[in-house]
Structure 1
Amino acid sequence: MSDDKERGGLKGLADKAQDMVGGMVGMASASTAGSHNTEAFIANACMGDLYEVEAGRLAMQRARSDDVRMFGEMMVEHHTTAMHQMRSALRSREVTDALPGAAPTMELDDRRAGMLKHLQDAPDDDFDKMYLDQQRMAHQETVALHKGYAEHGDNPQLRSVALGGLPMVERHLKALGRIGVH
C-alpha cells in the first residue's frame, strides 16, 4: 500500500471516529439540555436543519448511488421546510412574548462543521457510506431532541414545532434503513 493511500485511510478512520464521538455527544446534549431548555432546543434544531441542508447538497453533487443522491435531495427539501417552520414559530407572538429577540441559529457549531468537512474531504469511493453513517447519527440525535422538547419543553408553540417535525425525521430514519451502499 502506498504511503498516500495509507494516510488517506487513516484520515478516513480518524474522521469516522471523530464523527461517532461527536454523535454520542450530540445525543447526550439532545437528550438533556436540548429537551428542556428552549434556547438550546432552538439552537440545536436550527443547526441540525442547516447541517442536513448542506450535507444534502454535497450528496446531490458527490453521491455515486442514485438512492443516496435522491436522499440528499429530499434532505435539502424537507429540512429547508423545517427551517422555515422554525422561523415562523420564532416570529409568533407566543414565542416573541416569552423570548424577545429569539432568532434562528444560522451557523454550524464546530462539531457539525467538522462533519461537513469530513464529507468534503472523503474520497469518492467512501462518500456515500460516510454520508449515510452521518445521516443515521444526525437523525437519531434529532429524534431525541424533538421528542424530549415535545415532552418537556416550556414553550407550547415550540413544543408544537418539535412534535410536528418528529414524524418527518422518523420517516428519514426508516428511509435510511432501506438504502444500501456497497
Structure 2
Amino acid sequence: MSNFKIFSTGLVAIALSVTTGCTPTTPRDQNTSEVPSAQSVQATESPSPSASPTASPSASPTASGQNNLSSSDRQFMIEAAQDGLAEVQLGQLASQRGRSNVVKQYGQRMVQDHTQVNAQLKQLAAQKGVTLPTSIGSNNQQIKQRLSRLSGTNFDRQYLNQMLQAHEKDVAAFQTEAQQGQDPDVKAFAAQTLPSLQQHLEEVRSIVNPGGTSNSTPTSSPTSTPTSSPTSTPTPTSTP
C-alpha cells in the first residue's frame, strides 16, 4: 500500500511539471509587441527635413525684371523720366510767367498730365529695378534758365516753340518703344501714354499756327513783315 502511494505521488509530480512546462507564452509576447521602440518614437516625433518651406530665388520680381530688361528699354525709361520732369517744371513756369491765358492754361495742363505720367513711370521703374533720375538733366536745365529770363509775348513764343519741339521728340520716342521695345510692360506703358502726347502736340501746333498746316517749326506771322504795295508808286502827270 505504501508503495502505491509513493507511485501515485510521483505521477502527480510528473503531471504538474509537464503542465507547467507547456504554459503558453503568448500574453508575454503580446505585451512586448504593444510597447513602441525608441527608434519608432523618434521617427514619429522628428519632422521631415523636406517639410520646411524654402524661399525660391525667383520670388523677387524686382531682381528678375532688372536682369531681363534690355539697355534700350532702360534708356527709354530714364529719358522719359527726365523729359517728364522738365515738362512739369516748364509748365509751372508758363502758368506763372505766361502772358496769354492760352499759354497759362497749356502750361497748367502739362503740369497735370505729366505729373500723372511720371507717377506711372515711377511705379513701373520700381517693378523693373530701374533707378530713375530726379533732375531734368543739363539740357533741359539750360532751356529752363533761358525761359526764366523772358517775359510777356517773348516768353509765350519761346515756350510754345520749346513745347512743339519737345513733344515731337516725345511722340517719336514713345512710338519707337511701343513698336520695338522688348519688355512687354514698358511697351504697354509707351503705347498707353502715346495718345496723350500726340494730343499735346496737336494742341500746341494749333496754338502756334491756328488753322495752318502741322509744320514742325512755327513760323512768324506773315503780317509782321510789312511789304510794299505795287500801287504805291505815283504816276507821272503831263505838263502843260
TM-score (ref. length: structure 2): 0.56
Structure number with higher helix proportion: 1
Residue in 2 that maps onto 1:106? 134
Q: CA deviation at 1:56?
A: 0.1
Q: What one-letter code is carried by the residue in structure 1 that aligns with 2:92?
A: R
Give the unaligned 5+ runs of structure 1.
1-35
Q: What one-letter code is carried by the residue in structure 2 that aligns with 1:154?
A: Q
Q: Take 1:178 and 1:137, find their aligned partners in 2: how far apart are those partners? A: 14
| Residue 148 (structure 1) aligned with residue 176 (structure 2) | yes
Q: How many residues align?
A: 140
Residue in 2 that maps onto 1:159? 187
Q: What one-letter code is carried by the residue in structure 2 that aligns with 1:41?
A: F
Q: Take 1:59 and 1:123, find their aligned partners in 2: how far apart are those partners? A: 10
| Residue 124 (structure 1) aligned with residue 152 (structure 2) | yes
Structure 1 residues 65 and 90: CA distance shift in structure 2, 3 A: same
State the Cα deviation string for residues 56-99 of structure 1 (Å, max 9, x = none).
0000001011011000000000000000110121233xx2xxxx
Contact kept? 2:171, 2:198, Cα under 8 Å: yes
Contact kept? 1:57, 1:73, Cα under 8 Å: yes
Residue in 2 that maps onto 1:179? 207
Residue in 1 that maps onto 2:49? none
Q: Which moved more, 1:143-152 or 1:102-111?
A: 102-111
Q: Take 1:138 and 1:48, find their aligned partners in 2: how far apart are those partners? A: 8
Residue in 2 that maps onto 1:73? 108
Residue in 1 that maps onto 2:8? none
TM-score (ref. length: structure 1): 0.73
Contact kept? 2:98, 2:151, Cα under 8 Å: no
Contact kept? 2:100, 2:156, Cα under 8 Å: yes
Contact kept? 1:46, 1:83, Cα under 8 Å: yes
Give the unaligned 5+ runs of structure 2.
1-70, 210-220, 222-240
Residue in 1 that maps onto 2:78? 43
Q: Take 2:139 and 2:126, find their aligned partners in 1: how far apart are those partners? A: 28
Fraction of identical pairs, as percent: 27
Q: Take 2:115 and 2:186, find their aligned partners in 1: how far apart are those partners? A: 17
